[in-house]
Structure 1
Amino acid sequence: MRHHWKELIAVDRYVVQSRGALHELDRQVLTLLYQPLIGHRALALYMTLWGDWELLGGQEATHRRLMELMQCSLPDIYGERLKLEGIGLLNTYVRAFGDDEPKLFLYELRPPMTPEQFFRDEMLSTFLQRQVGRHLFAQLSDFFARPMADVARFTPVTRSFSDVFAAVPAERMVSRFSEEQRPLNEGKAHVGREEASYALDDEVFDFELFFAGLSKQLVPRRAMTAKVKEAIKKLAFLYGIPPLEMQKLVLGVIDPSYHIDIDALRQAAREWYELEHGGVSPRLVERVQPLAYRTMENANPRTKEEQLMKQLETISPRQLLKEIAGGAEPSLADLQLIEDIMFQQQLLPGVVNVLIYYVMLRTNMKLSKKYVEKIASHWARKKVKTVKEAMELAKEEAKTYQSWANEKEKGTKTVRKVVRTEMVPDWLKMDYSEPEDDDFDVEQARKEIEERLKKYRDGS
């Protein structure tokens, strides 16, 4: 396991730089639009690094200083840093000097999206609306909007550059270039402003299958610009649109000049989702494991473990929670927790199902927020993509995860230890010397979950 202390320790040093000038509008966008998505601690880390950029001016500092400024632990700082990286607000680089020497981290702040970019981004704006509700979302949208006059009702009188400024005579230009030029300050660059963005892995959408059934005569490859491909990835990730369905949507919005209107594609994706789901807003928890990441899709399960793998690959996290609860709708708190980790850690639905299954059998059929987030963060760093990988990692790191669960219990009045060796699923066999908890029968709970999943699979 890549523990946080193998990635980062308090004596490791860091230096901050920015990819562009940060302004008051950025602070408003970060506070009102990004904070509901990443949480107040991730925002605090960004603002602290912003302050360091202005205060230190490129000087190095230790992470202990960062811990003192934020009054939080190093694992918390590390976890919040990952959120900033995932949503496109931070680039992190590291320089190692030796096994026993402190590392040097370069934290490169990236400006947030402009309000226009944010509200035009289908995924971020949709999740913001789900986080804060329609009323507050409309209030935020109105706050960042400004009245615009109808330019068509006016006559343009703006002068061009050549109308105002005279050209420099050629002979003066030649003499100036022949003079000795003063070099730019080495190691420095002029402050600029890049377009804010965040990255989704290419694996979230099967472009190979998408292009395989798409005629080059109908959709030339030149029409598939980088912006169009990025929009397709985001829309497919948000709405769960398969490659073959996306083909139809693209064919429906391409114009005679072979230009793909991204706004029209967004609208088509929304309409497709509303038609498929009866007008319900998209939720990540409704998605199932993408076909490209199913290891049991074309296999016939031969063991109970493989049967469980196939079930977890073909059910959504929301439906899994519902089946575990015996058909009762999951609580909003549980759904929100699962949706948060799917968005912030970018875990695929099947991987999240393994996480739900594992945690439920470790914590008396409850979803402990800190415990779930800690394991999810580890799986995200390990880039776990399949159900099989998640199950194998859960088995390998079982003792470590149990120690995390025990840490969580230390603050309670009665320490409940719920795991015993003979009561765990075959794929989670481990050696524990923990005392038994007679109040919760893990084996019975596992059998009940498997029975409910079997009924769900059989449609009974």
Structure 2
Amino acid sequence: MSASYIELQSRTPERTDRDSLFLLYRPLCGQDAVILYETLMSLSCRLDRIEPEQLLRLSGIGSGRMEKARKNLEMFGLLDVYTEPVSGRLLYAVNPPLDVSRFLRHQVFSRLLLNTVGSEQFDRLMQFFAVGASVPEGWMRQTADIDPEPLEREWSEEKEQSLQKLLPARDTAGFDWEKFYRNREYLFPVRMRTRANEELIANLARLYGLSEEQMVKYVSRACPPPMKILDQEALKNIIRSERRREFLDRQDPFENAPVLFLQERQKGAPVSDADRRMLEKLSQEYRFTGPVINELLDYTMEQTNGALPGKYVEKVAGTWARLGLDTREKVRDWRKKQTAQALQGVRKRKGLQVQPDSVFSGRLPDWYNDRGRQFASEEERQQMLKQIEDIKKNWKV
């Protein structure tokens, strides 16, 4: 620590942060690292900078152990270290621990924890839990990254299977993993085949209408050889960028990927980030297929004159989920019934009786195109004209 002082930055901790820190992080990064983390959190709530020597005294960690403790915090994402190139000043950005769910889905942390505490203790932790800081512009990130190679040398298929049994079940129906993984051990090794990665890959494929082979291409770009993990945000950005103005040539637009369906409805205009997140939520949380999402978009825009208010979309999505409308056929039947009920209500208010089965008969009445129809008498013709005029006067849209 050659800097004259260290600038501190953090956010207000939550109660669950300490649970995660002591029960999940401590077995991995060690007691000294936890003490240093707590010291930095306490100081950053009261000070915006501190001298390195003062930090040593307050933490009670010797200078020889301080460096190791700091590196451990960096490797596990609890601390980011930045330097200002001109003055050489240091900035410590103290990050909150991952919550339990995100920690257990982390492709390295979850495996390290299982490898460290064993299956029995790992299972106890699962039962117990029941399952970033703003940096000034111009600062360069110098945080140490965790090296997964030691774990990879010790990790085995047996340990992977043990971990997968302990984690919550996944839902990636419709994606052919055998085809995706075939002869690709080097591109996508076992340690990267986590539930979080697989769910993301399957959801993006469903959302953007991508095949397994196409996803292989995009995934390979999101985890180039120098990297040890799949960069999930990079994968999302790559797919969003390349699929921005692509349209699938299908007769039925409802069979397109939801992003392309919505973009087509917008006359080719790019889909906003907020709408993309909404589509991802419909796919990931509600587990809707692409055609069902497209039907939901069409129904919502029909009800709101082309708008897509998020709260209304979620309200409709919740209704469909409760009713079990998980296929396009079920959704269309529901929409027909809704339309029929609405038409009946309107016409009853106008004094007209309509048979429910006649609303969607599948074809127009025989008389619709019968332009050569003759009236039996002039009286009948005048009576028909009078009825038409009455309807025109009384009918309001």
TM-score range normalised by the length of the shorter chain: 0.3 to 0.5
Q: Which has the larger radius of gyration?
A: 2
Higher RCO (CA-CA < 8 Å; seq separation 6+): 1
What is the TM-score of this pair, normalised by structure 2? 0.37
What is the TM-score of this pair, normalised by structure 1? 0.33
